[in-house]
Structure 1
Amino acid sequence: MRTREQLVNDLRQLGVNAGDLVMVHASLRAIGPVEGGVGGVLDSLDAAVGPDGTLIPWNDYYGPGSPLEHAWRSGVRVLRLGADLNTVTLLHLAEYLVELPSKRRVRRYVRVLGPHGPEERTVDCLDDEFGIVDTQGEDYFGLLLRDYLARGTARTGRVGHAVSELLDGADVLSFGVQWMAEHLG
């Protein structure tokens, strides 16, 4: 069983620093047993970025003006802890930024807090469930990330038992836009 201190050390060796802005994608099963369970993992992540850092949870809204765009412009780093290759939420912003002849859109219904309590709103957005274009075979996020990681620019190591990567948000986003233009257009 890993201690919180051991996980913080693993995160430091991977390159996570105090003050970092980090979006986390994690498989708790891949990390393995940790003292304190899920809370121990969260405590370790929080300790690694410190009081001046920020952990960013996944967010539903990806487009221009979104919290995701703000995070990218603020220097976000993407921390993958044993997560599947198709799990880099920041790449949904690349789908908005890439110039393609057409992109699949969907209509979603979301509940938001309005001036008089919860309300349902209709949102027209890119299809984040089946992709913005039809493709054959594997999910294109997985293919894209495999190509990105093959470049060797990500920091790699282990956090607990999990094979882990630390990605520069701006770099992976730029790569994602270019990759999508070349492979999906």
Structure 2
Amino acid sequence: METISKETLVGQLRDLGVRAGGVLLVHMSFREVRPVEGGPEGLIAALGEALGPEGTLAMPSATGDDETVFDPATTGNRDDLGIVADLFWRMPGVVRSPHFDAVSARGPKAEWITGGPFVLPPAAPESAIDRIRQAGGQVLLLGVGHHANTMLHLAELVGGAPYRSDFHYIDDAGREVHYGENDSCCEKFELADGWLRAEGALRAGRVGHAEARLMEAEDLVRIAAAKVKADPLIFLHGADEDCEECDEARESL
């Protein structure tokens, strides 16, 4: 396949609607975007250029290790977050939340986004995810579906989703702390795509070789939270659909 230049990437991002000076939360699969000039570093550079010097770039940076004390300077990302997100948190000028469900960010609003209170469940109001919404941020999905869209976990909580699965983490004192998280298989998060399109709140195109979808975080939370309020279990598979994660969520009710 053709290697996409940095200049083309920046143009694609701007054509899609990425705002200069804005806040952008990116979920991606680099495998879908590549090949691009400069590899993962080149893609990060293109995202930064599209946002400009007044913009703030953010990516998920949570650990998949729930048996080790989290250290934002050394603890790696969960594997499914991908190579770009794992590279990003290690780069100069990037700051990272000081807890296990971290977000990494670079730009004028990075300290505020990542420095908020530690809340449980991890995507609850006042979390880093919510602060991206409060800052008028956008969500960009690059080569991934809404199953990766962390902002929808905030929408679940705002809408009053009642289910909680048992999770734990190790605190700074080495103690195992259990908490309930609004978790499921997330396959039905794809419903959000149709909801957004119906309201003209989704922009779609290509960035690199990947399908790209861009939305305002505020629109996403508003629209999805209303759906959850009307049907609190809308994101769960039915009891007869043989989904272990959704069944666990249902059993918590």
TM-score, normalization: structure 2? 0.62
Are 2:153 and 2:182, in contact at CA under 8 Å, matched by a contact in 1?
A: no
Q: Which amino acid aligns with 1:96?
A: L
Output the CA distance in 2 between the equivalents of 1:89 and 1:26: 12
Instruction: Give the 3 Å change call, closer, same or farther, for CA 85–62 of structure 1 in structure 2.
Output: closer
Q: Any unmatched runs of 5+ in structure 1?
A: 132-137
**Residue 103 (1) aligns with residue 163 (2):** yes
Instruction: Give the 3 Å change call, closer, same or farther, for CA 74–123 of structure 1 in structure 2.
Output: farther
Instruction: Give the 3 Å change call, closer, same or farther, for CA 71–149 of structure 1 in structure 2.
Output: same
Output the CA distance in 2 between the equivalents of 1:51 and 1:120: 41
Are 1:86 and 1:145, in contact at CA under 8 Å, matched by a contact in 2?
A: no
Kindly report which structure 2 residues correspond to 1:23-172, keeping only aligned pairs within 5 A, or say none: 23-58=25-60, 60=101, 61-100=122-161, 102-111=162-171, 114=172, 119-120=174-175, 122-128=177-183, 130=184, 139-172=187-220
Aligned residues: 172
Q: Which secondary structure does the structure 2 equivalent of 1:25 belong to?
A: strand
Output the CA distance in 1 between the equivalents of 2:170 and 2:130: 20
Q: Which amino acid aligns with 1:52?
A: E
Tell me the alpha carbon deviations over residues 123-168 of structure 1, each in whole angstroms, 9 at most, x when there is no partner.
513233x26xxxxxx8221223343234432122111121211101
Q: Aligned-pair distance for 1:43?
A: 0.8
79-88 vs 7-16, which moves further: 79-88
Tell me the alpha carbon deviations over residues 29-78 of structure 1, each in whole angstroms, 9 at most, x when there is no partner.
22130011111111111111112111111152211221111111111100
Question: With CA pairs under 8 Å and 6+ residues apart, which has the higher RCO, 1 or 2?
Answer: 1
Q: Aligned-pair distance for 1:104?
A: 2.0
Output the CA distance in 1 between the equivalents of 2:187 and 2:232: 12
TM-score, normalization: structure 1? 0.82
Q: Any unmatched runs of 5+ in structure 2?
A: 62-100, 102-121, 234-253
Instruction: Give the 3 Å change call, closer, same or farther, for CA 173–23 of structure 1 in structure 2.
Output: same
Instruction: Give the 3 Å change call, closer, same or farther, for CA 36–97 of structure 1 in structure 2.
Output: same
Q: Aligned-pair distance for 1:20?
A: 1.0
Determine the structure 1 residue equivalent to 2:80. none
